[in-house]
Structure 1
Amino acid sequence: MLLQELLGIDEEIYFVEESYLAQRTLKRTLDYLKGVRKFAEEGQIRLLRVREGEHTLGILVFNQADEEVPVNFWSVFTGALAETRSKKDFEVLMDSLLAFNLPEKDIEVSSESWRDAVNEYYSLMLVNRNLCEGCSVKPESYESVFSENRVRRVAEVFDILQEKGFYPEGKVLEVCCGNGMSTIALYRLGLDPLAVEINKCAVCQGLEQGVLNPRKTIVMDATTLSRYFEPGSFDAVMGFMLGLVYEFNKELWIGIMREAVSVAKEGGLILFTVSSKPEIEILARALLRMGVEGEIVDNTDSEGTYDQWFFVGRKQKA
């Protein structure tokens, strides 16, 4: 696990928060830290501090094996992904804790590596069925789930993009990635996207088949991107074969378009594919109103199934 590599420890590691999204509000973290602080005031406890420069990304508290838990492990507390108020509360508690107990090890890592480690932890928890109580879904074979024709179709979209002078560089966000069918094509094209998808089962399937990168995959609702990423975080935001876009549900998809644009940089590439012209027209109208300069591209073929229409453009200055 990346986290153990970064910290140079062999013991088991457990994050206090039950999911990546829970790291935003830190409810468990703040409650647990209050208890840890009281314990620290009474006696010495083992701590590790993780930092980037002078900024603390997280702390780890050692837990000695006992009758209830027969192995030693470290509890991980981090405010690196939290919203502003929760992050401030975390920092106050953390500073008071460190005032009583100096860390036995001070480890410097980049915030990007730390995020990757957090992502990987929750991905592995998911694929090991630790986040879905009573899961009865059995793994399927790669061949029964993934289609090379689908992967090829996405690659063909990028051939067209290159001809038009649109090609992603830098940090890429793929929304609504599903099980990673399109993500395979992005990897083969040399891109390293952060892939997000709300359906845990789809993400789990992609992870257990080795399609999705556990360090770059998050179970997340695409309508809440701006809650977790700062404005202008990505050089490109894209999504392939978005779910059916109709008049009756268009507000959902327009909301996703708004969130995608909000986390894209000025000049950032925006790309979305669907299966029909009416669908892409709904998305294109919304994106143009949001300040994206671009065009609809007819990509129909004889099969008439995947990525038949797409919108490509760039976010303009506000």
Structure 2
Amino acid sequence: MLLQELLGIDEDIYLIEESYTSQRNPELTLQYLNRFLNFPDIENIRIIRVRQAGHTTGLLFFNPADEDVPVDFWSVFTGAFAQPALKEKFETLADSLLNLTSPEKDIELLHETWFNAVNEYYSLMLVNRNLCTSCSVKPESYGNVFSENRIKRVAEILELLRKKGYYPEGRLLEVCCGNGMSTLALYRSGLDPLAIEINKCTICQGLEQGVLNPQRVMVMDAAAVSRYFEPGSFDAVMGFMLGLVYEFNKGLWVRIVREAVSVAADGAVLLFTVSSKPEIEILADALFRAGVDGEIVDNTDSEGAYDQWLFVGRRQKNTST
């Protein structure tokens, strides 16, 4: 596990919050740190500090084996992904604790490195069925789940974008990634998106098959990405085969594409594909209204199944979403 490798420890590791999205409002983390301040033997507890540029981004506390838990482990607390006010509160609590005792290790890590390590932890917990009370979904073979023709289709779209001057580069977000079939095409094209999907079972499937990168995928609602990422966080936001998009459910998909725009940087590429022209017209209207300058592209082929219509464009400057 990347966390253990980065921190140079062999014992098991457990993050206090149950998911990455919980890290945005880390109530348990703050509660536990407050309790540690009043712990009578705090100076004798083994602590590791993680920091960046003088700011504490993580604290680890060692828990020795006892009759209730027969193995040693480290509890991991982080405020790096919290809302600004809660991040500040975490740092204040962390600094107060560090004034009471000295860490045995003080490790400097870049934010992205810490982000990837935490993501990997939650991905491994998911694929190992540690985040589900019960699971009745049986693993399937790669050939039964993934289609090379589908992957090729996405690769062809990327080449089309290159010709049109919309090739995605830099910080990439893929929304509604499913089990990672389109993500795999992005990987093979040399891209490294952060992929999100609300259905944890499909993410688990992609992880089981070794398709999704555990450091760069997370369970998250695409209709709420602005809760977890700041404006301008991404240079491209993509979503392949969104839908089905109908008049009766278009409110959901309009929210998703508007949320995508809200976390996109000025000039960022926005790309969405669907299977029919009426679907892409609904999405295009929402994107135009959100200040995206782009076009609908007819990408139909004889099979008439995947990615038949797409919208591609760029977020304009000083756009209010």
Cross-structure match for 2:309: 309
Cross-structure match for 1:166: 166
For 2:130, give the aligned amino acid: N
Aligned-partner Cα distance in 1 for 2:66–2:178: 41
Alignment partner of 1:176: what SS? coil
Aligned-partner Cα distance in 2 for 1:189–1:49: 37
For 1:213, give the aligned amino acid: N
Cross-structure match for 1:63: 63
Aligned-partner Cα distance in 2 for 1:105–1:66: 24
Cross-structure match for 1:39: 39
Indicate the RMSD between aligned Cα atoms, in angstroms.
Answer: 1.0
Aligned-partner Cα distance in 2 for 1:73–1:292: 49
| Unpaired stretches in structure 2, ≥5 consecutive residues | none
Aligned-partner Cα distance in 1 for 2:139–2:100: 48
Q: CA deviation at 1:90?
A: 1.5
Cross-structure match for 1:205: 205
Cross-structure match for 1:97: 97
The 3 A distance-change label for structure 1 pair 40 and 286 is farther
Cross-structure match for 1:272: 272
Cross-structure match for 2:294: 294
For 2:103, give the aligned amino acid: P
Cross-structure match for 2:180: 180
Q: CA deviation at 1:84?
A: 1.9
2:232, 2:263 within 8 Å by CA — same for their partners in 1? yes
Alignment partner of 1:39: what SS? coil
Is 2:231 the partner of 1:231? yes
Is 2:212 the partner of 1:222? no
Cross-structure match for 1:283: 283
Cross-structure match for 2:126: 126
Cross-structure match for 2:247: 247
Aligned-partner Cα distance in 1 for 2:152–2:42: 62
Q: CA deviation at 1:85?
A: 2.4
Q: CA deviation at 1:257?
A: 0.8
The 3 A distance-change label for structure 1 pair 160 and 43 is closer
Alignment partner of 2:218: what SS? strand
Instruction: Kindly report structure 1 stretches of 4+ aligned residues shifted beyond 6 Å.
Output: none
Cross-structure match for 1:23: 23
Which deviations, in whole Å up to 9, do the C-alpha atoms of 1:103-157 show, x marking residues without a partner? Answer: 1110011000000001000000000000011112111100000001110111111
2:196, 2:220 within 8 Å by CA — same for their partners in 1? yes
Q: CA deviation at 1:312?
A: 0.3
2:36, 2:42 within 8 Å by CA — same for their partners in 1? no
1:182, 1:240 within 8 Å by CA — same for their partners in 2? yes
Aligned-partner Cα distance in 2 for 1:315–1:43: 52
2:17, 2:23 within 8 Å by CA — same for their partners in 1? yes
Alignment partner of 1:293: what SS? strand
Is 2:73 the partner of 1:73? yes
2:275, 2:305 within 8 Å by CA — same for their partners in 1? yes
Cross-structure match for 2:11: 11
Aligned-partner Cα distance in 1 for 2:288–2:243: 20
Aligned-partner Cα distance in 2 for 1:41–1:316: 56
Q: CA deviation at 1:161?
A: 1.1
For 2:18, give the aligned amino acid: E
Cross-structure match for 1:145: 145
For 1:84, give the aligned amino acid: P
Identify which range, 39-48 or 272-281, moves more after superposition. 39-48
Cross-structure match for 1:256: 256
1:225, 1:263 within 8 Å by CA — same for their partners in 2? yes
| Percent identity of equivalent pairs | 70
2:42, 2:100 within 8 Å by CA — same for their partners in 1? no
2:293, 2:315 within 8 Å by CA — same for their partners in 1? yes
The 3 A distance-change label for structure 1 pair 96 and 157 is same
Q: CA deviation at 1:43?
A: 4.6
Q: CA deviation at 1:75?
A: 0.3
Alignment partner of 2:44: what SS? coil
Aligned-partner Cα distance in 2 for 1:13–1:48: 12
* Alignment: residue pair count: 318
